[in-house]
Structure 1
């Protein structure tokens, strides 16, 4: 930023490279005419040297010498050239623009409801279902802005791990350190209770949009509230529910035997209930069978549930053409004065 003293029009700092680089030019193309001004005066001198009037002098050539004062005759032309260059600079409209941008969004409240039951240790996802879900949840959080996000975990019971917060670093810490298979002692899959806990977290929310993302790999086998009833309760609070069924059907690897060979167990998933929950919650149901599919689903939800970002721009533009116009007028006046002095070439003028 240039020093405030530059705002005095007569400061020579206006002609430094720093000053010119700080400008935006409204009519930058006008500056291309400046070389033409210089070319015009060069042509005037070349043509003038051929056709100008000459005064015959009857003196030997060896007695003729050029006095330094003869170069003063170039001053009027130099003053006129400077005046024209400065006027063109003023016409190009040098400006400085100070633009301020204010952005805000109403934000979305999102509850991530993650199944941590024993079956989430199955290794059809790498390294297992739960670790894949944790990594994807972290990536999802990283892509959000201004949204409050909460964490709910469940197996035989449901537990609110984190309230709705914009402290994403805290959420990352919870995901890495707090979500594991031993966090809840009771075994089973309490889908209805998990939805109820998530709803309880968001029921007093005043956000423009409230979203619950439920991720589970099994049937509802525990808890004290039916999943459909819990979904209807969430819908009453205008909470949209996305459900994700994780895992392949049929035999899936689960641990290894004494010889290091993978054990296989039969996997089942109550897809019908998860579909009905999503329907009641005006959301969508997804079935995923590998890490990439899970990441793709979270990517889709991320696109669907974007908060509208509003933007207000304040643009303050200051013109500085008057600086160069003033200098141009000064040099033009000096040109006119020089025409009335001894340095003017009376043979040409």
Structure 2
């Protein structure tokens, strides 16, 4: 396994093309100046010790050394072996509703954006746990398989929007059934299915799916997001126009708390109302902390060895060779044709 311990230094590689461009421009200006003094072919015979190629070779040696210096600063490392590490944690699969109704703005900035921020903060609290991410509307699919890579989880979270699923609707049952298949086969670990939705279940079967999950030892937590009073759905983000039905009436979406509560009860979990405060996040964290923790196995590379020594030797060799190459031809080696 190869990695850079300080990858931010790799941004310095951006300067290398400018260094090359500056050198090429300098060569161009030098040739232009030589032409001002006379014919280049005649001047070449008048200056027999001047080498055409040695300056270029010296530059590219320095350029290579500079490149290696940047790579060395980034601290290249090799992982010498992979180990199975056991950590005590739980497994959580988050099912996020991305139907169009989640664009309603009865919570700030919108139901979907509020849910994404909540998930991001939830992932920040995870330590030795595993998390998976499912998105659903009229259908459900896995956005991120269950993993302990929290960086990837937050990266995938940023890309979520209603356009990911063309089939509109809200099939909570499909999301729960997919979540049940997403856990690892390891025994003894606490498992939570966290459904974040406005509760407008158009397909049915959600309560039955939650009950099945509970029978398999999984707890279903439902986070209801939105207002029971309802809110119109913007036609697009930042628009002042709203979605309308076939009769031209503005569509109003309402949080179905009764449905959310029924699903949570059947799933042996808890219903939590999400508003503009952080209370829902705190309640959920406390409930997940109560889940039984088991030794969660994960494969990691260990014993990362620093590789900067090899680069340092290469840099030293390149600089020594550059110093030994003179820009002018050496009369003592005039018969040696390494460089013209």
Give TM-score scaled by structure 1 length.
0.52
From 243, 255, 263, give the equivalent of 1:277: 263
From 240, 245, 249, give the equivalent of 2:228: 249
Q: Which structure 2 residues correspond to residues 189-228 of structure 1 after superposition, within 5 A? A: 189-202=170-183, 204-222=185-203, 226-228=205-207
Question: How many angstroms apart in 2 are the aligned matches of 1:208 and 1:261?
Answer: 47
From 74, 84, 92, give the equivalent of 1:110: 92
Please state whether the residue corresponding to 1:215 is helix, strand or coil: strand
Question: How many angstroms apart in 2 are the aligned matches of 1:303 and 1:280?
Answer: 21
Q: Extract unaligned runs of 5+ from structure 2.
A: 1-84, 243-249, 296-340
Please state whether the residue corresponding to 1:201 is helix, strand or coil: coil
Cα pair distance change 1:144/1:207, threshold 3 Å: farther
Question: How many angstroms apart in 2 are the aligned matches of 1:152 and 1:269?
Answer: 20
Structure 1 contact 213–241 (Cα < 8 Å) conserved: yes
Q: How much has 1:193 moved relative to structure 2?
A: 0.3
Question: How many angstroms apart in 1 are the aligned matches of 2:256 and 2:235?
Answer: 26
Larger radius of gyration: 1
Cα pair distance change 1:261/1:115, threshold 3 Å: closer
Give TM-score scaled by structure 2 length.
0.54
Matched, 1:161 2:143: yes
Please state whether the residue corresponding to 2:163 is helix, strand or coil: coil
Question: How many angstroms apart in 1 are the aligned matches of 2:212 and 2:288?
Answer: 24
2:167 maps to: 186
Structure 1 contact 117–189 (Cα < 8 Å) conserved: yes
Cα deviation digits, residues 101-159 of structure 1 (max 9, x gap): xx964321110111000011011222211111111101111111111110011001011
Q: How much has 1:289 moved relative to structure 2?
A: 2.9
2:38 maps to: none
Structure 2 contact 90–293 (Cα < 8 Å) conserved: yes
Question: How many angstroms apart in 1 are the aligned matches of 2:161 and 2:292?
Answer: 29
Question: How many angstroms apart in 1 are the aligned matches of 2:268 and 2:280?
Answer: 20
Please state whether the residue corresponding to 1:235 is helix, strand or coil: helix
Cα pair distance change 1:261/1:198, threshold 3 Å: closer
Cα deviation digits, residues 237-280 of structure 1 (max 9, x gap): 210111111111124253389xx767675333332332222222
From 254, 273, 280, give the equivalent of 1:268: 254
1:290 maps to: 276
